Amino acid sequence: MLNLDFDFLKKLELSCCLIPEAKENYFLGLIQLEKLVLYETRFYTISKGFLNGLFSLENLNIYNKQWEFIDTMIENHKNEFCSKIDQESFNDNQNLVSLNFENIMVQEISDFAFMNLTILTRIRLVGNKIETIRKNTFSGLVNLIILNLSENEIRTIESDSFICLEKLEELDLSSNRIRNFQLEMINGLHNLNFLDLTDNYIMDLDDEIYGLLSNCLIKLIDKN
């Protein structure tokens, strides 16, 4: 557990650190913490529940820019928290508004993983290893406005995967491995105004998709 007697602390940023063991309840006691930033931080062990006790947390940013930090996590095979996001990941974090996991080797998102995060408005899961988006991957995110899944390895998006995201305005699926983008994948996205599909293997879209998203800017080919 991190030995901090700062129950009044509202923002904590740890940059370029080595954290040997981030065990369960690692930040316990920081009951007023609203923003947590972990940048270029090496974890030899990061356990489920290491965010337990952060009841006031609104903004969570865990991100890396240098792959050497990621390599450390892969070699040790103890990245329980980041490798698989599930319902235990955010037990005490129902006040989250913004979530950013960038280049931290997220490989899988379990069904209903975000079920309790009903006020979350923004998710960035950029530069990870996610391959599949299932029907219940984003269940519960009734207030989500921005979803960025770019630079992953997404090959499969099940029908109705985004159907619960009625307030979603921006969806970024660029730089993945998507070959077929079907109408059933975007069911429920009535408020979408931006869809980025660049740098995939999609040759063209069905006319029905353009009809359904008539008020949406769709990027299919990167013109840069």
User: What pLDDT, on the 0 to 100 scale, is given for residue 204?
Assistant: 81
Q: Are 85 and 108 in contact (CB under 8 A)?
A: yes
Do 138 and 182 share a domain, yes or no?
A: yes
Cα–Cα distance measured from residue 141 to residue 162, given in angstroms and rounded to the nearest whole number: 10
214 C-beta neighbours (distance < 10 Å), count: 7
User: What pLDDT, on the 0 to 100 scale, is given for residue 118?
Assistant: 97
Assigned domain for 35 exists = yes
User: What pLDDT, on the 0 to 100 scale, is given for residue 13?
Assistant: 93
Do 127 and 212 share a domain, yes or no?
A: yes
CATH number of residue 162's parent domain: 3.80.10.10
Last residue within a domain, chosen from 87, 117, 145: 87
Assigned domain for 100 exists = no
User: What pLDDT, on the 0 to 100 scale, is given for residue 41?
Assistant: 77
Which of 47, 41, 83, 88 is CA-nearest to residue 66? 41
Assigned domain for 153 exists = yes
Cα–Cα distance measured from residue 118 to residue 189, given in angstroms and rounded to the nearest whole number: 17
Assigned domain for 97 exists = no
User: What pLDDT, on the 0 to 100 scale, is given for residue 65?
Assistant: 74
Q: Can you give the residue range of the structural domain that contains 136?
A: 107-224
Assigned domain for 31 exists = yes
Structure tokens at 106: 């997220």
Which of 163, 120, 157, 112 is CA-nearest to residue 139? 112
User: What pLDDT, on the 0 to 100 scale, is given for residue 57?
Assistant: 98
Number of domains in the chain: 2
Assigned domain for 69 exists = yes
Q: Is 64 left (phi over 0), alpha (psi -120 to 50) or beta?
A: beta
Q: Which residues of the chain have pLDDT under 50?
A: 67-77, 223-224
Which of 4, 69, 68, 14 is CA-nearest to residue 36? 14
Do 122 and 201 share a domain, yes or no?
A: yes
Extended beta strands in 154-208, E state: 156-157, 170-172, 194-196
Do 114 and 81 share a domain, yes or no?
A: no
Last residue within a domain, chosen from 42, 58, 87: 87
Tell me the per-residue pLDDT of 181-220, one tens digit each, with 9 for 90 and over: 999 999 999 999 999 999 999 988 888 898 889 899 999 8
Do 203 and 124 share a domain, yes or no?
A: yes
The DSSP result for 29-83, as a single string, is: T-TT--EEEEES-EEEEE-TTTTTT-TT--EEEEE-SSHHHHHHHHHHT-BHHHH
Cα–Cα distance measured from residue 102 to residue 175, given in angstroms and rounded to the nearest whole number: 14
User: What pLDDT, on the 0 to 100 scale, is given for residue 224?
Assistant: 38
Q: Is the dihedral of CA 64, 61, 114, 193 positive or negative?
A: negative
Residues whose CB is less than 8 angstroms from the CB of residue 75 and which lie 6 or more positions away in sequence, other chains included = none
Do 83 and 111 share a domain, yes or no?
A: no
What is the overall mean pLDDT for the chain? 88
Assigned domain for 51 exists = yes
Do 82 and 119 share a domain, yes or no?
A: no
Residues whose CB is less than 8 angstroms from the CB of residue 190 and which lie 6 or more positions away in sequence, other chains included = 166
